[in-house]
Amino acid sequence: MVLVNVKWGREKYEVDLNIDESPLLFKSQLFALTNVLPDRQKLLAKGRTIGDESWEGLTVTPGMMFMMMGSSAPIPQAPVPGGFDKDDHPLEPRKAVILPLGLGNLGNTCYFNSVLQMLQVVPEVHSTLKATKHPRISLLSEMSKTFTIINDPEYAEDNTHVQPFVLLETLRTHFPQFGSVSASGTMEQQDANECYTVLLNTVLASTDRNTESRDNARKYFGGRFEVKTKCIESEEEEVTTSSETFYQLSCFLNQDVKYIQTGIKCGMKEEIEKYSNVLGRNSKWLKEELIARLPKYVSIQLVRFFYKENSQTSAKVLKDVKFPMMLDLYDVCTPELQAKLQPMRACIKEEEDAKIEIEQKKKLMDKDEAKKFKDNGEVLPSEFEDDIGSNNSGFYELQAVVSHKGRTVKSGHYVAWIKSEGKWLLCDDENVTPVDAENVLKTSGGGDWHTAYILLYGARQVKKYPAPAAEPEPMN
């Protein structure tokens, strides 16, 4: 860590900078201090502009001065269901974007509704459910029906939301823990991540006999760890290497974790106790994980709930942990996978340069020409040619968030924030309303408003733009 100075207008901050992390992480730190979103920041040092990817060419020294430009965004307010904000101003009209229908709350079932809304944004889940043969009334068939209905414009003409009675009862039949009743006789609130895991695993299990199909959801959600275990107490003990499959990453929260990338790294290194053949007794071992395969979709649980022995209740960590709209997992990959990711990462740099050039050209056009301008970029594959459902760049875009408001896992309220056709929507049981991206980022925690609990990221789409036409040579 290096302590540096950052000047923003009349304000001056002292900030710890970790040069082993990307500049984007440093910009996220500044976002926490200034409320200037990373993509609005222009950061200067020693006469050069700092990008998001690398500190290459810049020597960072203690006390070094950075200049930051950019305007802060107003702190977003929690949207009020019903089409109006807190000051009775109309929200964005429904016709601006096709909205999925809401899901009726059937008695403390917001955990269930929020998870369904998150899963339904994944096209590969839809295709897997349609391609799988299942009984007429089953968890899979009812999920498929529900996803179809909530996205059906004709059904929406006569209905404001869907009541998923059959799907809920089918879930409780197969998994009775979701049907628990409180002492007062009401249905109990449940853990949204447990529900997410159960529903996703049910979908994944349905594809086991169809492993080579593009309708196999396992390929799109399943990543692989390379695990190395080393004895701390004996250098003579052989280092063991193994492979483990994962379908979700965990972000562990401690006093040092301020950003989700740090929390993920914390969960990939742990000290365990294991028998040592060399020492002839149990000894301390270090278990380290790196990602050897990245799936197209990565879900991340922020481990916010823990059990209090003295009160015998669950408690919640309200800590503010920033998460980005664009997540890069390159740093937690094996060197072999990092090498494979390089070609597409180079394409991302080319795409960003092309977009800058396009924006410069649009500024030279009149307003009518700029409006008619068409994006002629070609979408490149986001997976390796020989690995269906993989991620070939290491970059992910945020697709959905399940957040929780309350202090314990058995109380409070869950909602889903989903990205649909490029717009962010808040799915609060029956009510679905458009929101700004800032509202989503505001769920990072630190107070009693909605706090992000599950994040769903999808592989970043990269475009390739035609090379600019060569300027004609002047006539002699």
Residues taking part in catalysis: 110, 413
User: Positive or negative, the Cα torsion across 245, 249, 253, 256?
Assistant: positive
Return d(Cα 164, Cα 146) in angstroms, integer. 7
Cα separation, 130 vs 195, in Å, equals 21
Question: Which residues neighbour 360 within 8 Å (Cβ) at sequence distance 6 or greater?
Answer: none
Return d(Cα 142, Cα 173) in angstroms, integer. Answer: 13
User: How many other CB atoms sit within 10 Å of the CB of residue 237?
Assistant: 18
Nearest by Cα to 149 from 170, 167, 128: 167
